[in-house]
A = this chain, B = another copy of it.
């Protein structure tokens, strides 16, 4: 490994030059004008995989933007890791807020500024470079490696989802290694081992068959906004517990180890509250803020509308009111089951004086990798070696549907070895990536190969 690590350390300047070349490609997946750039992005990835020594490098056409596949399967008896990443990037608007142009990568204070720097070109490229380092030094990899790189992560991964379902054999692996999340903080080696799921519902309440004058009719009929508000109020109790019967039945309890791990992160509730501009944080009683956002299910109204909403006063008693309500789920909650429980409960608490329509708009499965999973442990050990300090374990409150798809379809543990930072302006102007994390990421990737092969 010493030889490999030395190679990485001494080639750092070249890596940055190549990354700049990659970042100059404006591969914005959502804009039609950039169709050619998408192919350019896929070709760049394919070329670099080939140069690194990967075999079977293929650009695979889809209904949308192409996928890039590659493998190296000459480590007999050794495990297989599938590396996922994406070469597409977010749009750049508002362009006027960029200090330097989004597709002219610029280095300032050890950070590289460009669209896609941290999300996900910089992070994905680390793994190509670690493969190269093995090939250029020891001439082989310590385990079997597959790459699947997509160009549609920012627009929903639909074609990759389909591809995974149809190509389970091709993508068969023991673990999926992904660098598309964040470190807990600068310089802190971090493995993200859980993601929350989602059940996103819509509730429409209809009262009278038309908007009424609230003077002439106020007091005669149930007001759909008031009724909707009362129903929302019945979704959670004063301790922040969700009141839907059966909602918590499948919730995996936080282990003592996990709670201890979270505690060690020295999260400052005061700093967090201040940054969000709130006098106090709020959520389910009996859990810390990190526990609540990472490992407990929650319920939030994402939107509500009804009646007159312009400036001023209009005395309307509206016919309809609508709310969008989503629940973040944790293992082993099933979004389909939760949607049914939610619908049942809403129908139960809906008064006869209104009609209620509940729609299931969207769902995502939660996922968690056990902390004693071989791949997770290898990831943690690798990062500890690279950073020279102990790796921390965190979970993430959001959902990344493709991660769950890999886990479910390929029966493989995902390892989220993110090297970004949530402060690196991903999706915003002046996106950047810390070049020290880039270097440590390549080393972490190399150590992961070594550790997971053991």
**Chain A interfacial positions (CB closer than 8 Å to B):** 196, 198, 200, 207-210, 212-223, 225-226, 228-230, 232-236, 272-273, 276-284, 289, 292-293, 296, 298-309, 312-318, 321-324, 326, 328, 351-355, 361-362, 396-399, 422
Q: Which residues of B contact A212 (CB under 8 A)?
A: 276
Q: Which residues of B contact A422 (CB under 8 A)?
A: 216
Q: 7 shortest A-B CB distances, which residue pairs?
A: A215-B398, A209-B277, A233-B233, A225-B301, A303-B307, A219-B292, A229-B232
B318 near A302 (CB under 8 angstroms)? yes
A282 near B328 (CB under 8 angstroms)? no
Q: Which residues of B contact A234 (CB under 8 A)?
A: 233
Contacts A225-B304, A225-B323, A305-B309 known; list 17 others, CB within 8 Å. A207-B278, A213-B397, A214-B326, A216-B398, A220-B293, A221-B281, A226-B299, A229-B229, A229-B301, A281-B353, A282-B351, A303-B306, A303-B308, A303-B314, A303-B318, A313-B324, A315-B326
Known contacts A214-B326, A215-B398; A308 and B317 CB within 8 A of each other? no
A304 near B315 (CB under 8 angstroms)? no
A222 near B300 (CB under 8 angstroms)? no
CA distance A322 to B223 in the complex (A): 17
B353 near A214 (CB under 8 angstroms)? no
Chain B nearest Cβ from A365, distance in angstroms:
13
Residue among A208, A235, A305 having the largest count of chain B Cβ atoms under 10 Å: A305
Known contacts A314-B303, A316-B302; A397 and B217 CB within 8 A of each other? yes
Q: Which residues of B contact A228 (CB under 8 A)?
A: 229, 304
Q: Which residues of B contact A299 (CB under 8 A)?
A: 218, 226
Chain B nearest Cβ from A256, distance in angstroms:
20
What are 15 inter-chain pairs, A to B, with CB distance below 8 A? A209-B276, A215-B396, A216-B293, A217-B397, A218-B298, A220-B283, A221-B278, A225-B300, A225-B301, A225-B323, A278-B354, A281-B353, A302-B318, A304-B307, A304-B321
Question: A279's closest neighbor in chain B, by CB?
Answer: B352
A225 near B303 (CB under 8 angstroms)? yes
Q: Which residues of B contact A306 (CB under 8 A)?
A: 301, 303-305
B301 near A397 (CB under 8 angstroms)? no
B282 near A302 (CB under 8 angstroms)? no
Chain B nearest Cβ from A198, distance in angstroms:
7
Q: Which residues of B contact A308 (CB under 8 A)?
A: 302-303, 324
B300 near A317 (CB under 8 angstroms)? yes
B361 near A312 (CB under 8 angstroms)? yes
Q: Which residues of B contact A230 (CB under 8 A)?
A: 229, 232-233
Q: Which residues of B contact A232 (CB under 8 A)?
A: 225-226, 229-230, 233
A293 near B218 (CB under 8 angstroms)? yes
CA distance A161 to B236 in the complex (A): 49
Chain B nearest Cβ from A321, distance in angstroms:
7
A283 near B226 (CB under 8 angstroms)? no
Question: A363's closest neighbor in chain B, by CB?
Answer: B313
Q: Which residues of B contact A280 (CB under 8 A)?
A: 352-353
Contact of A322 among B309, B351, B354 (CB under 8 A): B309
Q: Which residues of B contact A305 (CB under 8 A)?
A: 304-306, 309
